[in-house]
Amino acid sequence: MKHSISIIFLTLFLFSHSYAAFNQAPEINLPGTDGKVSLEQYKGKVIYLDFWASWCKPCKISFPWLHDIKQRYADQGFEIIAISLDNERKLADEFLAKMDVNFTVAFDESGKSASAYKLKGMPSSYLIGRDGKVYASHIGFREKDKAKLEQVIRDLLNK
């Protein structure tokens, strides 16, 4: 109960996206760097779903942090799925060649997954619980948000 209250409080405090918390996460089925990527593959894990593009400056800043949190929490059932919204795969591949990526990457040149998640800015991220529901969403990436994002991740992992 304590963790649920903490998650709700942090969600209301930190995240101001119109996507309602506790809705079932829309499924994705996209090509990835290592084959098809779907949420179903990661059922039972806490997922940080990140929408990014090669032209997005905050996205470039977020990737090292994504690498670090994946490394820190992977053994607790944490997964990151980063979805490129570049309209050309080549642009995403060039971006990825400059990054140290230890998480799942998918490609959505059509932007259909972004529409399903009602994106309003870049980057946008969604924290999905082990039950497949969206517990939090966030637009942008700022240094000051890291600790709050990580706290929500820990709370979901401990739920």
The per-residue pLDDT for 20 is 42
pTM confidence score: 0.86
- Strand 78-84, strand 104-107: pairing: parallel
More confident call, 55 vs 21: 55
Number of domains in the chain: 1
Residue 17 belongs to domain with CATH number = 3.40.30.10
* Residues 98-142: tens digit of each pLDDT: 999 999 999 999 999 999 999 989 999 999 999 999 999 999 999
- Strand 124-128, strand 133-139: pairing: antiparallel
* Residues 41-65: tens digit of each pLDDT: 999 999 999 999 999 999 999 999 9
47 strand-pairing partners: 79, 128
Tell me which residue range forms the domain holding 124.
Answer: 2-158
More confident call, 16 vs 101: 101
